[in-house]
Structure 1
């Protein structure tokens, strides 16, 4: 980097020297009083060439210096920059509209710019060329966003796959520019990508790349329109650009962006006659009734900016008795009062002031309160909280401000301040008591706590505890939400605003509000994600709790952080956070919180196959829940303890724990818990060879998950049902079940579930005889399990890979896979899995000409299977021993073991394996 920079400096220096020489040549050529030596004399005889070379060199240097300026470090730039996310600030979220904002009546003749844009798009689409990025730049208030939205409406039919509008907050007062990670997450969610599927992690650069790749894939081959409004820099918007050729991107910015392959559409102030025409149209007066010369002066005073012109026209429309001269007089007075403003915004700010002073005092106060709002969009409920008025009054105030052109209306009865008006409102607000700002933020945060309490009634499991809102939240009016769907829709719309309020509260050291809002948002972010956003939120809450010295709040934030880390498969970080939560809850004397944290860390240890630690944590949690009389907690701990017992092949105790959990869930009416227990009982009964019961339980679980619209767990039930179908001779049904589960997992971004489906499909490929496909698919599953740190999944994949490689006569590879799998399974204490691998290994040895060694493996498997009551592996071991004995000692010696295996297969309903033995016995008798 340093070498390249030094070389560039050398080029610039050399260029300067050449330029100086050329200037001398030009001067000498004109004077003709001296003569230059050698070839330079030729230049002196042709002075026009010197001028040409001077121009070329100067232009080149200008371009080079501009490029260097664009590459300055972010700290040197006077413009807003996008900071890397170092995790030190509360998370943000980008506001994305799934359709274009409403077209405005204030749009006036931009025919040249619009014709240029439409022509460019038409030409590209007709010739099949890639659509270039169109950058719309110009000063504040000139109408860049209005032009982009109007153009979007004009072009909408050419982009049938959707239109998206994103506010990047490049120059929004009180808001940091939207980071690429936030914008990409919001864009992906807006286009239908489930938030669980959006890549998450701690490496911001890697996450941007992963999300950008998914975004480009999402728009590949589509014709969509994307408006990136209010961009701060090209670096901010570059990851958001689609990769395909059929999408149009319109960018608005206050500064010239160095985008590649761009088309720049400069939106200038209106021509004077167009500004006058716009004024007349919006004023509601006839052109003849207004003095043309005074109108010309009015639009000149507001800089010919559409925003200022529309505000002036609104003033005269609302005052029928005013003349144009009256309006001019008032504008001049306002302009003088605001003389301290920057020159570029002075004129339009004067129009703001004129409109503001025309408001009634209570409406002026309401407008000032809007300047304190941390979010981007608001509705009447937020307005009521900010202004400390009723929702009915807030709705009237907002409608009046809209009529006065001091606020923009968006679909869904939502409103938004133009950036300059936000600046102006903030300036007015800052002139008052500094406590007004704090109190306004407190009021709007309290409103959101009240509204979140309503939404959480629909999305939190029955019996779960969510911290209640503060007492003063009872006075807040909240929207009516009568269903889970309505609650989730409200949460998705308000997410950016709630997170912005948390940022503002954190900046004002309102620690209690930060803690409460983070806890209230936790249930939604658990299921909706993106989980890295949730991680940032809970880190902020934990830091706020440390500042406040609130041990219980700190424990709660750490517990939520640990849960989200578990969802992200970041198991070491999850364990660290949850263990600290246990310590903090213990110190605070909160036994319920401690039990919950123990239950959660026990789940992490189960997932990482630390079965001893998991059983210890769940047992301790269960004891605490029983002391507290917490029935839901007892059910959760019992269910998770049952899973640990099942993973260690203690099937009887697993059924006992899970059955007790199921009984409590049914007593409480907790359908979600009921389905989870049914699913795990189905797994245990499948391992115990009770296939009819297992299939019934998986179908019951699936039906409950479907009623709850829980697609993740539907997929888990489908996978387990597929296993039962495969074992009972229905490979087609099994493949359908696993394929459907895989589709769900892929859509939802559940990597662990997806790996399970792939492994099961690999087993079916092997059974169908497609060994190359089976090996490829099983290797994919193995890699996924290793990435996730799932040792149980790794062992299962290795076991199946060993079988497939053995059949493909890759004996060394098969033995190596079996050896690795056994090592993991013995470490995990999974005796059923160990018996299965030993049976597979015995079969490989028998078919490869070493029946004696194979018999030894089958004997080991038989002992394990009988010890844990795993009938399928017991039958497989008996069959293996019989087949080895048949080779070693003859048919007579083998018949006893083979008939034992046949009986067990018939009892299990495994017809195909039973038929194979029967044919063997018949041939023996013949």
Structure 2
């Protein structure tokens, strides 16, 4: 291929040279200029021959260029190129997933089993039918997981959309089987679903069904491979099965699982020759130096199980002075000691015992302590805490145990015990001082996690916020370096299941103080990362622990965190109830700062449910308490939230005053997050006051800060508010872009309230664009969500806009009903600006239905409300409505004053299209 291409290029280059020369010859021949030398002169004299030769050279050159083009053109693919993204999936979704453990070098011949699996997959794929579940079963230690992982790597090309691995802990000593709802949360997160978007709730059955539905949707039309390792039952794994027929599910289990569609792949002990070959390969000894009959006896005594064979081979490799016969004698002695075990376990456990007894005493102790660890995997720092040794020494122990095949190495410098080895280590540990050792080990690892969480929270907790305290002994623990927010979040994401497992174990040992402290230390991370239902369970456990010990201070803290998470989950009634209980507990122990924080959170709940009287009372009391204790950060929070309540009740000047003071404190504390929040809410107030240019500037400043902080939730809120300003000033295209981007963020993050706001704004844009059917659909969707969440303010806003749409499609009764219901809610909220807007909408409806007198009454009420609260946009709309009604009733002269005043206000606001429209109307009458 390269030779042909080179020849073609050379030919083209030569042709170009010849063509250039011939052109010169022909030109000279025609113009009778200077003579060319030698044979070229003959060509110059025979000009017609030069013309012919020129044509031939150009034809050949064209052919060569075509050949070159063909050789360089890529071969067309039978399949279209992959698209960079999938519009059906939410932003941030991982397109290709790889989470299989590393393929082991110790994998030995499983040709028959692998061939059987490959045939089965091929047959089902070629048939076009759905792939059935393939169950790999067999006794402990036989190599089921190793086989499944190896098969996953071999089959990866057939399943290009991802390969996922989940350990279900069905038979893991000291651990409960993973619940389907937890496994689904992990799988959804692995496929790019943000934790906040994962369905949550108290009804485990309903949550499991919702997550399973989302999981099936994620894998629809995909070709992915899913390994469900160590399953306890078919019931445990059934919700995890993808709905699409293109996915292969490999399940490993010690039990025969009952499922109609499954394909069973039994994995038996190794054949004797294969076991011997594996032993020889792993022992590192020359083949001719080992007595094959003795090796045969060794592998027979460990039941031909790969795990036992690997351990024995490693034992021989690490003892160069031993012979195979020496190893055999030691194994015989070990089997005698363990004779009370069942036959199937005795063989492999004897190999564990032999390896364990050959360890140095300090490493034996370290291995036993690992049996107390409740997590799934650990690193050298956690190992150091468990073993009460330095990190360097823990790393040496872990590396040595890995070399001895007593522990498995995982990516990222982490280690994990095989189920049987965990069981063995746990048995060694519980055979001695069970309660004391267990309590001490759990205390040490929990103390370590408290220290590490303290480091992580330095990067997560907001400036000047009170971080959870840690005991003095925790500060002496060696912890992994966390120099950035990203590093802290990465460590927390990996350690979360281990920390939660330690909390559960500590709770079972009645170590209530540790439970309370760990729950408080995990709270900042779980607030923002979730899953929130997991956080609810944690804080309830902490509250129960506090009640058992009579620690009312700790109870107050646990209840406060529980209330905050319940607010995030939009369970406002329980959030308010729990926060009220927290307020009472803080008051009982005399903690004014804690009481202020709980009141502040309760006030936010009441603001969200539009109980403005209760919200004002809570934030005012919280502000007074914060000032009394000198908590500047708390003062800023209470002022900002009080500003929002005052804005909701149309007290715009008071709202600006509160937000401006909050902004000043946030800047004093260098709290960028708080500063952005205050800027955004100031933008909202300025928009309501008709100061659109200032409002847009505040929203852009806030949006830039949120982007700097990588806070997509609040980016979405700022985008929605900026879109609203642009819509009011006539820039509908950019408004649509802002609301659409906000909607994408909310959908990705699972923020239902924010998503409803974006949907409502887009519905208004559809109405202004003349698409009333789509506008009605979007507004009905928003209304339904607001009602589900108990957001009365959102419900009123959606009803107001829905009334306009119904009027435009001639549904007079439906429009009136929507306006009436909206006014009832807004009057109860004290939202006079909202009332003025609805009155203006209602007035326009009546004027359109040829009832200008009734319409004028609504416009007059709107004008009164708007002027009372200084809401100029609704004032202008009311003036315009009055003028147009007067025009219909009494003519141009009666209407002109109101219309000219409306035009002036519109012009001052920058709403030039409306001002121009009115002035054209007046000018037409003047002509």
TM-score by length of 2: 0.89
**Quick one: distance in 2 between partners of 1:474 and 1:701?**
37
Displacement of 1:178: 0.4
Report what 2:473 is aligned to: 472
Report what 2:228 is aligned to: 228
**Quick one: distance in 1 between partners of 2:340 and 2:919?**
100
Displacement of 1:338: 1.1
Task: Give matches, 1:52-201, under 5 Å.
Answer: 99-201=99-201
Report what 2:20 is aligned to: none
Report what 1:325 is aligned to: 325
**Quick one: distance in 1 between partners of 2:390 and 2:225?**
39
**Quick one: distance in 1 between partners of 2:680 and 2:259?**
53
Residues 180-220 of structure 1: per-residue CA shift (max 9 Å, x gap): 11111111111111001001011111100110111111112
Residues 154-191 of structure 1: per-residue CA shift (max 9 Å, x gap): 11222222221111000011100000111111111111
Task: Give matches, 1:193-272, under 5 Å.
Answer: 193-272=193-272
Residues 257-313 of structure 1: per-residue CA shift (max 9 Å, x gap): 112311110001111111111111111112322222222221111111111111111
Residues 808-840 of structure 1: per-residue CA shift (max 9 Å, x gap): 111111111111111111111110000000000
Report the more deviating stretch, 711-720 or 100-109. 100-109
**Quick one: distance in 1 between partners of 2:228 and 2:430?**
30
**Quick one: distance in 1 between partners of 2:339 and 2:372?**
24
Task: Give matches, 1:267-306, under 5 Å.
Answer: 267-306=267-306
Report what 2:341 is aligned to: 341
Report what 1:400 is aligned to: 400
Partner SS state of residue 252, structure 1? strand
Report what 2:872 is aligned to: 871
Contact (CA 8 Å) 1:301, 1:347: kept in 2 or not?
Answer: yes
Report what 1:702 is aligned to: 703
**Quick one: distance in 1 between partners of 2:875 and 2:224?**
59
| 1:426 is the counterpart of 2:426 | yes
Report what 1:742 is aligned to: 743
Runs of 4+ with deviation above 4 angstroms? none
Report what 2:628 is aligned to: 627
Partner SS state of residue 229, structure 2? strand
Report what 2:533 is aligned to: 532
Displacement of 1:127: 4.0
Task: Give matches, 1:357-756, under 5 Å.
Answer: 357-434=357-434, 435-756=436-757
**Quick one: distance in 1 between partners of 2:918 and 2:531?**
53
Displacement of 1:343: 2.4
**Quick one: distance in 2 between partners of 1:488 and 1:237?**
29
**Quick one: distance in 2 between partners of 1:792 and 1:824?**
7
**Quick one: distance in 2 between partners of 1:424 and 1:771?**
70
Report what 1:837 is aligned to: 838
**Quick one: distance in 2 between partners of 1:273 and 1:133?**
31
Partner SS state of residue 879, structure 1? helix
Contact (CA 8 Å) 1:164, 1:227: kept in 2 or not?
Answer: yes
**Quick one: distance in 2 between partners of 1:443 and 1:163?**
36
**Quick one: distance in 2 between partners of 1:791 and 1:883?**
32
**Quick one: distance in 1 between partners of 2:653 and 2:346?**
80
Displacement of 1:342: 2.3
**Quick one: distance in 1 between partners of 2:518 and 2:342?**
38
Report the more deviating stretch, 368-377 or 332-341. 332-341
Report what 2:36 is aligned to: none
Partner SS state of residue 805, structure 1? helix
**Quick one: distance in 2 between partners of 1:128 and 1:663?**
66
Unmatched 5+ stretches in structure 2: 1-96
Partner SS state of residue 249, structure 1? strand
Report what 1:31 is aligned to: none
Report what 1:881 is aligned to: 882
Contact (CA 8 Å) 1:98, 1:190: kept in 2 or not?
Answer: no
**Quick one: distance in 1 between partners of 2:451 and 2:752?**
36
Report what 1:93 is aligned to: none
**Quick one: distance in 2 between partners of 1:710 and 1:297?**
64
**Quick one: distance in 2 between partners of 1:476 and 1:225?**
41
**Quick one: distance in 1 between partners of 2:313 and 2:414?**
24
**Quick one: distance in 1 between partners of 2:635 and 2:204?**
39
Task: Give matches, 1:905-924, under 5 Å.
Answer: 905-924=906-925
Partner SS state of residue 415, structure 2? strand
**Quick one: distance in 2 between partners of 1:807 and 1:146?**
66
Report what 2:793 is aligned to: 792
Report what 2:863 is aligned to: 862
**Quick one: distance in 1 between partners of 2:387 and 2:613?**
57
Displacement of 1:98: 5.1
**Quick one: distance in 2 between partners of 1:864 and 1:761?**
27
**Quick one: distance in 1 between partners of 2:325 and 2:105?**
25
Partner SS state of residue 312, structure 1? helix
**Quick one: distance in 1 between partners of 2:798 and 2:322?**
83
**Quick one: distance in 2 between partners of 1:921 and 1:125?**
74
**Quick one: distance in 2 between partners of 1:784 and 1:226?**
35
Displacement of 1:391: 0.5
Displacement of 1:846: 0.8
**Quick one: distance in 1 between partners of 2:433 and 2:206?**
45
Contact (CA 8 Å) 1:466, 1:519: kept in 2 or not?
Answer: no
Contact (CA 8 Å) 1:579, 1:601: kept in 2 or not?
Answer: yes
Partner SS state of residue 256, structure 2? coil
Give the RMSD, CA atoms, in angstroms. 0.9
Report what 2:58 is aligned to: none
**Quick one: distance in 2 between partners of 1:260 and 1:681?**
62
Report what 1:60 is aligned to: none
Report the more deviating stretch, 154-163 or 708-717. 154-163
Contact (CA 8 Å) 1:545, 1:553: kept in 2 or not?
Answer: yes
Partner SS state of residue 263, structure 2? strand
Report what 1:89 is aligned to: none
Partner SS state of residue 231, structure 1? coil
**Quick one: distance in 2 between partners of 1:910 and 1:120?**
69
Tell me the number of residue pairs that the alignment of Structure 1 and Structure 2 aligns. 830
**Quick one: distance in 2 between partners of 1:483 and 1:161?**
32
Residues 311-350 of structure 1: per-residue CA shift (max 9 Å, x gap): 1111111111211211111111111111222222011000
**Quick one: distance in 1 between partners of 2:98 and 2:713?**
25
Report what 2:82 is aligned to: none
Partner SS state of residue 166, structure 1? strand
Displacement of 1:372: 0.5
Contact (CA 8 Å) 1:383, 1:394: kept in 2 or not?
Answer: yes
Report what 2:23 is aligned to: none
Displacement of 1:900: 0.6
**Quick one: distance in 1 between partners of 2:196 and 2:127?**
39
**Quick one: distance in 1 between partners of 2:585 and 2:475?**
30
**Quick one: distance in 2 between partners of 1:260 and 1:415?**
37
Residues 52-78 of structure 1: per-residue CA shift (max 9 Å, x gap): xxxxxxxxxxxxxxxxxxxxxxxxxxx
**Quick one: distance in 2 between partners of 1:403 and 1:797?**
66
Partner SS state of residue 230, structure 2? strand
**Given the superposition, is the C-alpha separation of residues 98 and 622 from structure 1 closer, same or farther in structure 2, using an over 3 Å criterion?**
farther
Displacement of 1:467: 2.1
Residues 717-765 of structure 1: per-residue CA shift (max 9 Å, x gap): 0000000000001000100000000010001100000000000000000
Report what 1:903 is aligned to: 904
**Quick one: distance in 1 between partners of 2:660 and 2:643?**
9
